[in-house]
Amino acid sequence: MKIIIVGASGTMGKYLVTAFEKEHEIIRVGSKSGDVQVDITSPEEIENLFKHVGPFDALISTAGPTYVGPWKKMTDKEFRKGVEGKMMGQINLVLIGQRYINPKGSFTLITGALTHEPQLNFANASAANGAVEGFVRAAAIELENGIRINAVSPTVIEDSPQYFPYFPGEIPTTMKQLEYGFRKSVFGANTGQVIKP
Ligand SMILES: NC(=O)c1ccc[n+]([C@@H]2O[C@H](COP(=O)([O-])OP(=O)(O)OC[C@H]3O[C@@H](n4cnc5c(N)ncnc54)[C@H](OP(=O)(O)O)[C@@H]3O)[C@@H](O)[C@H]2O)c1
């Protein structure tokens, strides 16, 4: 398969690239890194990505910038980081990418347990996740040509120990569990699902 991974240089992305690159053609994307540089907050840059890459079989997004910080410092400006990044960035990957993806292809977006289990400092991610999950369920009944869409929603992951103090009582998702959540979406048959690895 030809698989685009947006966020390929990140903690999740790096692991997924290593897991999938032996058997698949991987196109690595990031705003400052990868085979193609694309800022997902720009619809024009997203359009150029798909024009450049051509038809593909799967798109995985592990790019979802959000504001992480104290509630008291959060204003419209900070909140828009997640709205324009994790929410609209990922939604535009699908709205634009649906015109370039091969029939029976798939989109897999990233959300997170914060949708239903909020933690201090992460309100922006909770809200963006909820929007993306709603979009995934709605897009699944609209996409044509057998194209599927799912979200993967882990809690804090094994390779991000810097976040452990913010997630008291959460058993981290292992990188293997994360990988298999993405495998279920990309190589399985389900659509409109929020996969909790
Ligand atoms: N880490 C966790 O424990 C955890 C748990 C649950 C959910 N999540 C969610 O999973 C996502 C990924 O987490 P992570 O820890 O892997 O993040 P990360 O290590 O910070 O990596 C983020 C990746 O996204 C790319 N990126 C960032 N902003 C971008 C933009 N505007 N346009 C295009 N690419 C962009 C970065 O590449 P460039 O630097 O080149 O832009 C990088 O490859 C986030 O949305 C996070 O909320 C994380």
Model confidence pLDDT, tens digit, residues 52-71: 999 999 999 999 999 999 99
Cβ of 92 closer than 6 Å to ligand 1, yes or no, is no
Give 45 Cα–ligand 1 centroid separation in angstroms.
Answer: 18
Its sign, for the CA torsion 183, 19, 37, 75, is positive
- Burial label for 91, CB within 10 Å (0-12, 13-18, 19+), is middle
Q: Are strands 148-152 and 56-61 parallel, antiparallel or unpaired?
A: unpaired
The pLDDT of residue 123 is: 98
Q: How confident is the model at residue 12 (pLDDT cuts 50, 70, 90)?
A: very high
Model confidence pLDDT, tens digit, residues 77-96: 999 999 999 999 999 999 99
> C-alpha distances in angstroms, 94 versus 25, 52, 53, 89, 109?
20, 16, 15, 9, 9
Protein residue closest via CA to atom 15 of ligand 1: 11
Protein residue closest via CA to atom 12 of ligand 1: 62
pTM of the model as a whole: 0.98
Would you put residue 152 in left (φ > 0), alpha (ψ -120 to 50) or beta? beta
Give 127 Cα–ligand 1 centroid separation in angstroms.
Answer: 16
CB 151 within 8 A of CB 108: yes
